[in-house]
Amino acid sequence: MSTLLLASEITGRPVVTLGGEAVARVKDVVVDGRAGRVSGFTLSGLGLLSGPKRRALPWEAVSSLGPHAVMIQDETVFRNRDEVADAAEAADGSIFGARVLTDVGTDLGQVTDVVIEVTASQAVVAGYEIAATAAPARKRHSVFIPLARTIAVSGEALVVPAAVADFVSDDLAALHKAIPEFRSHMSGKKP
């Protein structure tokens, strides 16, 4: 079973040990774009004036990611921030604000959030929330698209297959249903 979450929904969640002690907050979700998965989280302190921590939480050390908290065994699982974040950030940069263009030149919109599919063992990028242009927007300004094999990435745009436009969803529940259909369509197999 899997759950879809927005990266922005995870940001700010407390990091809690299995003993029940809140030890940090999620500052940012670190995505390894090449692998298409969450590699971990940068952290901040718990207090109102607390800044970023020099430690980070690798995904492998997460016991569970629940609706209200990120659970860990204990604080010994934290790593240096550089070990978790720098390699992924250097390789990918930020895709927030990038235009999403199809390989036939259609501008679908601008990335506003990353959709993460969380299972018991992994967290992978499953799609994007985009501020849509008029073409796929239907009645909403913000829509969701499944993650496609990205043909090209620059600091300004993601180029994706044109078929993505046929699987635009109005909400995460509809996207959850559209993802396997899109994957089947792209692989040439029937769902």
pLDDT at 14 (0 to 100): 96
Looking at the fold, whether 116 and 41 belong to one and the same domain comes out as no
- For residue 2, tell me if it sits in a domain: no
Looking at the fold, whether 63 and 81 belong to one and the same domain comes out as yes
Looking at the fold, whether 24 and 57 belong to one and the same domain comes out as yes
| Of residues 187 and 62, more confidently modeled | 62
User: Domain span at residue 47?
Assistant: 7-92
d(CA 43, CA 46): 9
Looking at the fold, whether 79 and 124 belong to one and the same domain comes out as no
Reported confidence tier of residue 90, pLDDT bands at 50, 70, 90: very low
pTM, entire model = 0.84
Number of domains composing the chain: 2
pLDDT at 33 exceeding the cut of 80: no
pLDDT at 175 (0 to 100): 95
Looking at the fold, whether 181 and 106 belong to one and the same domain comes out as yes
- For residue 1, tell me if it sits in a domain: no
Q: Are strands 99-102 and 157-160 parallel, antiparallel or unpaired?
A: parallel
* pLDDT tens, residue by residue, 104-154: 999 999 999 999 999 888 899 999 999 987 644 445 589 999 987 656 566
Looking at the fold, whether 82 and 132 belong to one and the same domain comes out as no
CB 135 within 8 A of CB 72: no
